[in-house]
């Protein structure tokens, strides 16, 4: 892979005042962002094999290296999931030494399996996601983002198709095989492209298991690995009443359009049938940024009142207010595109209904549904739809 030219994009995520975890898939730019904001911090990079081996054998050395730091000093620990037991020393550094820690990870799996409670709430959680339209600025091009995604590691490459292919192979080789996350590597590798077919859809685990000829329980474990390693995110359905017992399955979204195409082994020009789910997933990443980093909203769901009825892609919650968002890749809006948003109008708390599309003009229907191009939607999302 060759870089076109490494461009430093200004990220919207701001560093918290106190200790925090920064989680994100490989290549999203966590280390680059930390170097920009914490250049004077005391650094531990656990991808440095020599350092990793030393601290694996002698964890006490970590405490000795930070013991002399003054209260209020920052300590960066990159890829902390490789040595999760050191979080006990991080906890002690916060409590006894008054230190502040920036802790990054491309996987939460080992932290969860080790029973780590993420410092019992003493560190905030933040997410590094693919580059957003306003971060890319004048370099933003929707077709390019849907084709190759906007993971910085891939975006900066001259041959993005090759970079995406390498990304998936590197993920399976280093994240899965090297960390021994599965026993049956071949089975996991077979399940990845099939799971990619469910991007933007309700996950049917039984069907997925049949397709890859693996037990359902094993496939559920594979999906959990993909989620723990931050490549997918599952979106739960909205239920207005806690007493509702009808169990609905979550929808599955991959973190980046380019990665989901590479996971399927699909490269080259976008096919028309791909655009809908890819745009929907990219909008989901934009929404996640406002929830997980800007803390502008509380939660997001999808809305499906009952089986067979119309759905709405996203229902964003802020206090008692709900914002209904439908995504269409079409450049022209047809009446059937509005049905879900028309149906959801009766739901209590819905303050605004928005349809995001690939066109270039803002519109408003007679019943108050806003129709917005992607960049205008981003502005409205950041402004809280005010």
Give the pLDDT confidence score for residue 307 in this predicted structure.
63
Tell me, yes or no, whether 156 lies in a domain: yes
Task: Kindly tell me if the per-residue pLDDT of 4 is higher than 50.
Answer: no
Residue 207 C-beta-side C-alpha neighbours within 13 Å: 8
H-type helices in the chain, by residue range? 30-37, 49-57, 60-66, 87-95, 109-113, 133-136, 142-148, 152-155, 160-170, 185-196, 205-212, 216-228, 257-264, 272-292, 339-343, 374-382
154 and 263 in a single domain? The answer is yes
304 and 204 in a single domain? The answer is no
Contact 287, 130 (CB under 8 A): no
Contact 168, 263 (CB under 8 A): yes
- Residue identified by tokens 């009142």 is 305
CB neighbours of 51 closer than 8 A, spacing ≥ 6?
44, 45
Q: Reading across the β-sheet that carries 321-327, which strands appear in turn?
A: 299-303, 312-318, 321-327, 350-357, 370-373, 363-364
The Cα–Cα gap between 146 and 274 comes to 9
Percent share of the chain, pLDDT over 90: 73
Higher-scoring residue by pLDDT: 335, 123: 335
Contact 311, 302 (CB under 8 A): yes
171 and 251 in a single domain? The answer is yes
Give the pLDDT confidence score for residue 120 in this predicted structure.
64
Tell me, yes or no, whether 56 lies in a domain: yes
176 and 191 in a single domain? The answer is yes
Tell me, yes or no, whether 287 lies in a domain: no
Percent share of the chain, pLDDT over 70: 92
CA dihedral 207, 209, 211, 214 (to 10 degrees): -160
* Final residue before a domain boundary, out of 127, 160, 178: 127
Give the pLDDT confidence score for residue 336 in this predicted structure.
94
Q: Which class for 125: exposed (0-12), middle (13-18), buried (19 or more C-beta within 10 A)?
A: middle
The Cα–Cα gap between 76 and 66 comes to 11
pLDDT in tens, 270-293: 999 999 999 999 999 999 999 999
Task: Kindly tell me if the per-residue pLDDT of 165 is higher than 70.
Answer: yes
309 and 258 in a single domain? The answer is no
Per-position DSSP letters for 317-339, written without gaps between them:
EETTEEEEEEE---SS--GGGGH
38 and 93 in a single domain? The answer is yes
Higher-scoring residue by pLDDT: 143, 3: 143
Q: Which of 174, 147, 143 is nearest to 27 (CA)?
A: 174
- Residue identified by tokens 């590479």 is 262
Q: Which of 257, 318, 244 is nearest to 286 (CA)?
A: 257
Domain at 67, CATH number: 3.40.50.300
Give the residue-averaged pLDDT of 160-168.
94
265 and 169 in a single domain? The answer is yes
Give the pLDDT confidence score for residue 20 in this predicted structure.
94
Containing domain of residue 374, as a range? Answer: 296-382
Give the residue-averaged pLDDT of 338-350.
95
56 and 108 in a single domain? The answer is yes
Give the pLDDT confidence score for residue 2 in this predicted structure.
47
The Cα–Cα gap between 380 and 386 comes to 7
Give the residue-averaged pLDDT of 48-66.
93
Give the pLDDT confidence score for residue 122 in this predicted structure.
73
Give the pLDDT confidence score for residue 241 in this predicted structure.
66
The Cα–Cα gap between 31 and 317 comes to 31
pLDDT in tens, 75-102: 999 999 889 889 889 989 999 999 999 9
Give the H/E segment covering residue 370: strand 370-373
215 and 324 in a single domain? The answer is no
Tell me, yes or no, whether 281 lies in a domain: no
pLDDT bin (cut points 50, 70, 90) of residue 239 is: confident
Task: Kindly tell me if the per-residue pLDDT of 68 is higher than 80.
Answer: yes
Give the pLDDT confidence score for residue 123 in this predicted structure.
83
Tell me, yes or no, whether 14 lies in a domain: no
Tell me, yes or no, whether 300 lies in a domain: yes
165 and 102 in a single domain? The answer is no
81 and 150 in a single domain? The answer is no
* Final residue before a domain boundary, out of 127, 161, 183: 127
Lowest mean pLDDT among 204-218, 240-254, 293-307, 341-355: 240-254
263 and 170 in a single domain? The answer is yes
Higher-scoring residue by pLDDT: 364, 4: 364
Contact 378, 132 (CB under 8 A): yes
Task: Kindly tell me if the per-residue pLDDT of 253 is higher than 90.
Answer: yes
φ and ψ at 73, to 5 degrees? -70, 150
Bridge-partner residues for 124, per DSSP? 20
Tell me, yes or no, whether 234 lies in a domain: yes
pLDDT bin (cut points 50, 70, 90) of residue 121 is: low
CB neighbours of 283 closer than 8 A, spacing ≥ 6?
313, 314, 325, 327, 356, 374, 377
- Residue identified by tokens 């590691």 is 153
Instruction: Output the average pLDDT for the chain.
Output: 90
Residue 297 has a CB neighbour count (10 Å cut-off) of 20
Tell me, yes or no, whether 282 lies in a domain: no
Task: Kindly tell me if the per-residue pLDDT of 240 is higher than 80.
Answer: no
* Final residue before a domain boundary, out of 127, 148, 181: 127
Domain at 245, CATH number: 1.10.10
Give the residue-averaged pLDDT of 33-53.
94
The Cα–Cα gap between 221 and 205 comes to 10
Contacts 24+ apart (CB under 8 A), 138-144: 139/7, 139/9, 140/375, 142/279, 142/358, 142/374, 143/270
Q: Domain tally for the chain?
A: 3
Give the pLDDT confidence score for residue 171 in this predicted structure.
83
């Amino acid at each position: 892979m060759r870089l076109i030219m490494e461009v430093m994009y200004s990220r919207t995520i701001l560093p918290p005042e106190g200790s925090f975890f920064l989680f994100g898939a490989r290549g999203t730019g966590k280390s680059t962002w930390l170097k920009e904001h914490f250049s004077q911090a005391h650094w531990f990079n656990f991808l440095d094999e020599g350092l990793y081996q030393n601290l694996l054998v002698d964890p006490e050395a970590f405490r000795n290296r930070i013991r002399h730091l003054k209260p209020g000093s920052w300590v960066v620990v990159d890829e902390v999931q490789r040595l999760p037991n050191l979080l006990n020393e991080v906890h002690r550094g916060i409590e006894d030494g008054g230190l502040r820690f920036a802790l990054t990870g491309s996987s939460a799996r080992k932290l969860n399996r080790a029973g780590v409670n993420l410092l019992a709430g003493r560190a905030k959680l933040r997410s590094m996601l693919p580059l957003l339209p306003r971060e890319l600025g004048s370099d933003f091009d929707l077709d390019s983002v849907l084709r190759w995604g906007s993971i910085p590691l891939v975006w900066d490459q001259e041959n993005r198709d090759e970079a995406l292919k390498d990304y998936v192979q590197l993920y399976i080789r280093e994240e899965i095989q090297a960390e021994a996350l599965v026993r049956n590597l071949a089975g996991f590798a077979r399940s990845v492209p099939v799971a990619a077919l469910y991007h933007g859809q309700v996950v049917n685990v039984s069907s997925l298991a049949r397709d890859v000829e693996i037990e359902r329980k094993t496939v559920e474990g594979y999906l959990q690995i993909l989620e723990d390693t931050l490549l997918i995110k599952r979106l739960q359905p909205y239920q207005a009443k806690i007493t509702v017992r009808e169990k609905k399955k979550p929808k599955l979204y991959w973190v980046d359009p380019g990665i989901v195409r590479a996971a399927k082994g699909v490269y080259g020009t976008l096919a028309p049938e791909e655009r809908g789910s890819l745009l929907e997933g990219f909008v989901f990443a934009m929404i996640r940024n406002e929830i997980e980093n800007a803390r502008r909203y509380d939660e997001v769901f999808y809305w499906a009142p009952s089986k067979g009825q119309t759905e709405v892609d996203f229902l964003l919650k802020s206090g008692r207010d709900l914002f209904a968002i439908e995504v269409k890749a079409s450049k022209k809006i047809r009446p059937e595109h509005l049905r879900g948003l028309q149906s959801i109008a009766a739901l209590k708390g819905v303050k605004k209904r928005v349809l995001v599309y690939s066109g270039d003009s803002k519109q408003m229907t007679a019943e108050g549904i806003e129709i917005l191009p992607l960049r205008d939607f981003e502005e409205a999302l950041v402004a809280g739809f005010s």
